[in-house]
Structure 1
Amino acid sequence: MWEGNEIGIGCKTVMEDLAFWAKEKPDVSFLVDLKAGEQIPVSWAETAETVDRAARAIHTHFGKSGHKTAILSKNRAHWILADLAILASGSVAVPVFTTMRPETFHYVLDFADVELLFLGESANWAEVKAHVPAGITIVTLPGVDAAEGDMTWDEFLALGDGKPTPQGHGPEDVATLIFTSGTTGKPKGVMHSMGSLGRATHTLVEQTESGTGWNFISYLPLAHLAERLIIELHALRIGGTIFFNESLETFGQDLALAKPNYFFGVPRIWDKLSSAVIAGTEGGTEALRAALTGPHADMAAAAVRDKLGLASVEKLVSTTAPVPPHIKEWFKLFGLPLMDGYGQTEILPLATTPMGSNKPHTVGRPAPGVEVRITEEGELIARGPGCSLGYYKMPEKTAETFRDGWVYTGDRAELDEDGFVILKGRVKETFKTAKGKYVAPMPIEAKFLESDYLDQACLVGHGMPQTVLLLVIAELAEGLARDAIEAHVRERVAEINPTLERHAQVGAVLVAPEAWTIENGILTHTMKVRRERVLDQFGDAIDKAAGAMGSGAALRVEFL
């Protein structure tokens, strides 16, 4: 439980937020599904009524509180209806990613002791349905064939008719388990209470200075705590409206319909958007920069915002990893200052970029009520209102991460003279070369990704004479000849290597044949690179490159 300061005193829970807005503006839309260009709204009053009915059904199904209920569905209105109903019932919500592989899916449901599953539209259902642990009741949400489950949503709701409304959770009871993406081993179930979620939401709204009734668009996985907090709980607190993106193909169209006032993304999203603007500008990078800094810059920037569907945006926020400074510079020229939001499933928000900040190499200052320190080993530790309760059924892991009231984040970091946080990579990602010296890969990768032609990077080198850099070429460079790409890569290495210590300098570059994605297993659900997967998939080529370096070969650039 957070006991650090006054944050949390008088903080409302999500149930109180829902009740307030259902009374304040019952007929206004809270949730809007987008389908085939049409809007399917659910009002605040309808939300409150459905959540109450579903909560009574869940409590009737189990007979008591505390049982685990999972949600497997793409982002839809019924995802949030199910989530709120689970919380209101006193059960524990266990969101599951629609990109999970069968073995991870089975592990999470079995380990979390799930007994009830709400199943919506999900890209991985055909692959994982044979791996549902025995004894789990499946309730199909609208849009799913009833034959896939034991009962439909409407049939399930009827179970609670005439039954009393359940009491729900106490402030610090475990209300939800959010499973981490598992970059290092099996996913861990992070426990959050209604209190920790409420305090995190309070901190977010205070830092963002959010406006009542803002529009949001939900397209990143709601199974991840960032989307759940920043979109779902945020909208609940300020009486906002959430529009649900139908698909990647309709994203631009859905943005135009939603007209979001707040837009949340991850670094790859900003890279894709800025690259699309550059690619669509005759004359490319230089022509676009000239237009955005010339005498008609305001008009040019407005045209870009309109083209991106972000003309109504008042706050643009990025999280999960630092955004490269050159991407931030592009969005500043677009008239869309990009704020970083830094946090972890274990504690969030940790830090955010204040409006008007001109420190692009940082992820901002600690959020209200949050304290941070840097250990002697260079690890960032923190404590604050959004701190979780630990890991489910993992006391040893909990003791490692949560110590004396502090969360050991696993991130290497520095604090500048103004208290801004500069991330330096993960503690466990640091490796030692054959020369016996340590290398932190993230800052070096970030230097290479300042190029508009390079999209993804992973630096390796444990036990090697020099480091090996694996790269994915950006869409902007896909039309270039290999010779041109190789020349660009060699030019970047020649520029960057002299800025690095000799043991960290790049001795070989391997260009991957395709983008790293969630689907091919190299990215986590939060778009982070799984380094062990890179080493597994490209291990032979990495070993070959390392062997050549050991023989004193010149810089090697190889297309895999």
Structure 2
Amino acid sequence: MWEGNSVETKRKTVMEDLAFWAGKKPDTPFLVDLKDGRETPFTWRETAQTVDRAARAIHAHFGERDHKAAILSKNRAHWILADLAILKSGSVAVPVFTTMRPETFHYVLDFADVELLFLGESANWAEVKAHVPEGITIVTLPGIDATEGDITWDDFLKQGDGQPAPTGHAVEDIATLIFTSGTTGKPKGVMHSLGSIGRATKTLVEQTESGPGWHFISYLPLAHLAERLIIELHALSVGGTIFFNESLETFGLDLRIARPNYFFGVPRIWDKLSSAVIAGTDGGADALKAALTGPHASMAAAAVRDKLGLASVEKLVSTTAPVPPHIKEWFDLFGLPLMDGYGQTEILPLATTPAGSNKPHTVGKPAPGVEVRITEEGELIARGPGCSLGYYKMPEKTAETFRDGWVHTGDRAELDEDGFVILKGRVKETFKTAKGKYVAPMPIEAKFLESDYLDQACLVGHGLPQTVILLVVAETATHVPAPEIEAHVRERVAEINATLERHAQVGAVLMAPEPWTIENGILTHTMKVRRDRVLERFGPEIDKAAQSMGNGAVLTVEFL
């Protein structure tokens, strides 16, 4: 199945990948920490040796297989060293987000039966450390005060010296638990084996035609399976080098140091990068577009790529949601065409954009070996190489999602005449207005987010006379006067309503007073909007808007 790509195809697991490259190019850097513009590299040989010592220590600590060990740290070389060591030891790796709130953090560690926690730099540690369940041993990674844990990384490694090598996992045994964002309830622990993540990686490599030795930069949370697959496991498969971004403030510098051949992001990243280029151009967007379409367009595009630190990029991939067409247009002009990638923690990758595709409203075609169907209810179901083993300790939820070999994604979707996937929102997010007809919010929200003035959107309307859209002004438009924003929003509503059936048309607009974040509880730790929190936070204002609509008021736009 995997014959024909440019990468060694006979290896099935990350452990085999690590051993292969440690033997083939032992002195080449695999992991590179960046700090203050300085590089701290870990070669393939050093990585393999450290992982072996740590795996022996973990095995000695537990004495048997299948115990759970968590990682709480920002993206660093030691995140991946700990992850690989847990997997090699035969234990189960449980990544934890550095943005998790205390109640979710405690629930995940307790529910997952975690007994060992590798602690690195984490923005939420001061907030969550009092919520670590009893009985968990904390290993502090380098750079963390030893008093924050029970044993330091270096001392823990010594416990593995002289210990027997663990046998590790069988290929299809549970090897890692990845917790979902929990937009509709408690997070679910998705179980993956070395085999399932290995097959997913090979599918990714085949689809992207990745080259041996490619450079990657890691900055999105490694606790999310997308970053772990697309960066960590991808680099392990092709013998690449991973650079770790120090901070948001050093992102531009770190990109120029890393010179990535493959760059992975989410829609908000592309928006911020294109906005930064526009803001740095005399004359703004019009002048930039003129330069990128004029007689010296290739030179102008090369200058933009160099400024962004993306001069060496061969593949640019976006995931989590479709990228608005106007942003894709900018990156096409930069000479950096964006590929969409679509998948879920339960099964990935599902679909990617083929090279040369010009279907901006889709997320591409099914990945190699992946089969998709649309049910009578309009739900996308899929099966393929990267399918997980189900949910940890949730047999009812597993039976609900995994049926007859198919994963029920919960996404509403359509397939166009060429087999491209068009997402229409979540099945459970569809609601009925007072007119008794269903509305799918995501496509309507996406139309609003095509505006340069708007950054976040949430459409509500269950039981209301008409739908209500809640909007957040984009960071790059916060200087624009409110009357100008209002006029723009009214124009957008008129344009969008003209494309919608009467029952789905927007009847009121509420402009949120601040961005929606993880900290204010409206975004999950994977940056998804919690609709229930929006309804809770803005309930009185939504009710007031509904009353006005019920009284026959024309479109209202209210700044909260």
TM-score normalised by length of structure 1: 0.98
Counterpart position of 1:136: 136
Q: Which moved more, 1:455-464 or 1:509-518?
A: 509-518
Could you tell me how far apart the structure 1 residues matched to 2:430 and 2:306 are? Answer: 42
Counterpart position of 1:403: 403
Aligned amino acid, residue 499 of structure 1? T
Could you tell me how far apart the structure 1 residues matched to 2:491 and 2:286 are? Answer: 19
Could you tell me how far apart the structure 2 residues matched to 1:454 and 1:281 are? Answer: 21
1:211 aligns with 2:207: no
* CA contact 2:425–2:442 (8 Å) conserved in 1: yes
Q: Which moved more, 1:460-469 or 1:532-541?
A: 532-541
* CA contact 2:2–2:206 (8 Å) conserved in 1: no
1:510 aligns with 2:542: no
Matches within 5 A, 1:91-490: 91-490=91-490
Off by >6 Å, runs of 4+ in structure 1 = 5-9
Aligned amino acid, residue 332 of structure 1? D
* CA contact 1:11–1:202 (8 Å) conserved in 2: no
Shift of 1:448: 1.1
The 3-state SS of whatever aligns with 2:159 is helix
* CA contact 1:14–1:236 (8 Å) conserved in 2: yes
Counterpart position of 1:60: 60
Could you tell me how far apart the structure 1 residues matched to 2:220 and 2:176 are? Answer: 19
The 3-state SS of whatever aligns with 1:443 is helix
* CA contact 2:11–2:17 (8 Å) conserved in 1: no
Q: Which moved more, 1:536-545 or 1:226-235?
A: 536-545
Shift of 1:512: 1.0
Q: CA RMSD in A?
A: 1.2
* CA contact 2:318–2:340 (8 Å) conserved in 1: yes
Shift of 1:9: 9.0
Shift of 1:554: 1.1
Could you tell me how far apart the structure 2 residues matched to 1:368 and 1:311 are? Answer: 29
Shift of 1:302: 1.2
Shift of 1:542: 1.0
* CA contact 2:2–2:203 (8 Å) conserved in 1: no
Shift of 1:11: 4.4
* CA contact 1:11–1:199 (8 Å) conserved in 2: no
Could you tell me how far apart the structure 1 residues matched to 2:490 and 2:473 are? Answer: 14
Aligned amino acid, residue 47 of structure 2? T
The 3-state SS of whatever aligns with 1:410 is strand
Shift of 1:300: 1.4
1:74 aligns with 2:74: yes
Could you tell me how far apart the structure 2 residues matched to 1:280 and 1:512 are? Answer: 28
Could you tell me how far apart the structure 1 residues matched to 2:241 and 2:255 are? Answer: 13
1:529 aligns with 2:537: no
TM-score normalised by length of structure 2: 0.98
The 3-state SS of whatever aligns with 2:123 is coil
Could you tell me how far apart the structure 2 residues matched to 1:528 and 1:329 are? Answer: 25
Counterpart position of 2:542: 542
The 3-state SS of whatever aligns with 1:160 is coil
Could you tell me how far apart the structure 1 residues matched to 2:313 and 2:15 are? Answer: 28
Could you tell me how far apart the structure 1 residues matched to 2:394 and 2:302 are? Answer: 51
Aligned amino acid, residue 148 of structure 2? E
Could you tell me how far apart the structure 1 residues matched to 2:458 and 2:173 are? Answer: 40
The 3-state SS of whatever aligns with 1:40 is strand
Could you tell me how far apart the structure 2 residues matched to 1:521 and 1:318 are? Answer: 25
Could you tell me how far apart the structure 2 residues matched to 1:10 and 1:342 are? Answer: 26
* CA contact 1:75–1:219 (8 Å) conserved in 2: yes
Could you tell me how far apart the structure 1 residues matched to 2:555 and 2:279 are? Answer: 30
Could you tell me how far apart the structure 1 residues matched to 2:509 and 2:343 are? Answer: 32
Counterpart position of 1:38: 38
* 1:6/1:25 CA distance change after superposition, 3 Å: closer
Could you tell me how far apart the structure 1 residues matched to 2:60 and 2:86 are? Answer: 12
Counterpart position of 1:85: 85
Shift of 1:559: 0.7
Q: Percent identity, aligned pairs only?
A: 85
Shift of 1:6: 7.7
Aligned amino acid, residue 200 of structure 2? A
Aligned amino acid, residue 206 of structure 1? E
Could you tell me how far apart the structure 2 residues matched to 1:211 and 1:263 are? Answer: 13
Could you tell me how far apart the structure 2 residues matched to 1:481 and 1:216 are? Answer: 40
Could you tell me how far apart the structure 1 residues matched to 2:127 and 2:180 are? Answer: 21
Shift of 1:526: 2.4
Could you tell me how far apart the structure 2 residues matched to 1:448 and 1:363 are? Answer: 18
The 3-state SS of whatever aligns with 2:58 is helix
Aligned amino acid, residue 337 of structure 2? P
Aligned amino acid, residue 219 of structure 1? Y
Please give the per-residue CA displacement for 1:308-349, whole angstroms capped at 9, x wherever unaligned.
Answer: 111111100001111111111111111100000100000000
Aligned amino acid, residue 39 of structure 1? E
The 3-state SS of whatever aligns with 2:71 is strand
Could you tell me how far apart the structure 2 residues matched to 1:63 and 1:178 are? Answer: 24
Q: Which moved more, 1:527-536 or 1:312-321?
A: 527-536
Could you tell me how far apart the structure 1 residues matched to 2:522 and 2:220 are? Answer: 18
Shift of 1:282: 2.3
Could you tell me how far apart the structure 2 residues matched to 1:485 and 1:544 are? Answer: 22
The 3-state SS of whatever aligns with 1:414 is strand
Please give the per-residue CA displacement for 1:122-156, whole angstroms capped at 9, x wherever unaligned.
Answer: 01001000000000000000010000000000111
Shift of 1:434: 0.4
Please give the per-residue CA displacement for 1:70-95, whole angstroms capped at 9, x wherever unaligned.
Answer: 00000000000000000000000000
* CA contact 2:2–2:202 (8 Å) conserved in 1: no
How many correspondences in the alignment? 556
The 3-state SS of whatever aligns with 1:499 is coil
Could you tell me how far apart the structure 1 residues matched to 2:104 and 2:528 are? Answer: 17
Please give the per-residue CA displacement for 1:223-248, whole angstroms capped at 9, x wherever unaligned.
Answer: 00000000000000000000000111
* CA contact 1:472–1:514 (8 Å) conserved in 2: yes
The 3-state SS of whatever aligns with 1:494 is helix
Could you tell me how far apart the structure 1 residues matched to 2:344 and 2:427 are? Answer: 15
Shift of 1:476: 2.4
Could you tell me how far apart the structure 1 residues matched to 2:77 and 2:243 are? Answer: 8
* CA contact 2:98–2:123 (8 Å) conserved in 1: yes
Could you tell me how far apart the structure 2 residues matched to 1:269 and 1:521 are? Answer: 21
Contiguous gaps of at least 5 residues in structure 2: none
